[in-house]
Chains A and B, each alone.
Chain A
Amino acid sequence: DAKTTQPPSMDCAEGRAANLPCNHSTISGNEYVYWYRQIHSQGPQYIIHGLKNNETNEMASLIITEDRKSSTLILPHATLRDTAVYYCIVRVENDMRFGAGTRLTVKP
């Protein structure tokens, strides 16, 4: 049973912000939201995670709504190298289940 819902694909212009949404309406109080990306067929790469507060690191920002039912990953200045599949994951117990993710295409 799916814990997260993401759009299957999105486009973004190079240099613009990419905002990737994720719905997780059944999230529990102690479950973290994680974001990973997978470039081509490489192993997934960790981006960011959060519990209830907004988070920012050198790669991205994570905005979590107050009710925690959805979140948005923001890549502030997308480059062509950000083209990848982005996975939003709610950590279930101790294991991660990856859904289909969002295929982000950054266009020149």
Chain B
Amino acid sequence: EADIYQTPRYLVIGTGKKITLECSQTMGHDKMYWYQQDPGMELHLIHYSYGVNSTEKGDLSSESTVSRIRTEHFPLTLESARPSHTSQYLCASSEIGTVYGYTFGSGTRLTVV
């Protein structure tokens, strides 16, 4: 069973709206990540965090922002949604150290109309 939760699972929203995608994990992992994936395409790392008050941008430039105020919570925010933001957003977490794998959430499929 998943120990990392993403809400909502699906979201359809109008252009210009502000949205926050939620990601929470109960494993006490220090590291958390956001990936963006278009249908049938590769996953691209857009944000990551190594712990509370730590946030970094990933490989793919994104207009979204993230925050890490609590260890278990890593929300992603789009201040003004556009159709180009339509995609699937996947959250993951892991322990620190290369010997540990990632645990992924089920994803949020965002459609901006």
Contact = CB atoms under 8 A, between A and B. Distances in A.
B103 A42 contact: no
Interface of B: 31, 33, 35, 37, 39, 42-43, 45, 48, 50, 58-59, 88, 90, 92, 96-99, 101-107, 109
Contacts of A100: 42
A43 B107 contact: yes
Closest 3 CB pairs of A and B: A43-B104, A98-B43, A91-B98
A48 to B, nearest CB: 9
Contact of A32 (B58, B98, B109): B98
Interface of A: 30-32, 34, 36, 41-46, 49, 91, 93-101
A97 B59 contact: yes
Nearest to A91: B98
Contacts of B107: 41-43
B98 A45 contact: no
B83 to A, nearest CB: 19
B22 to A, nearest CB: 15
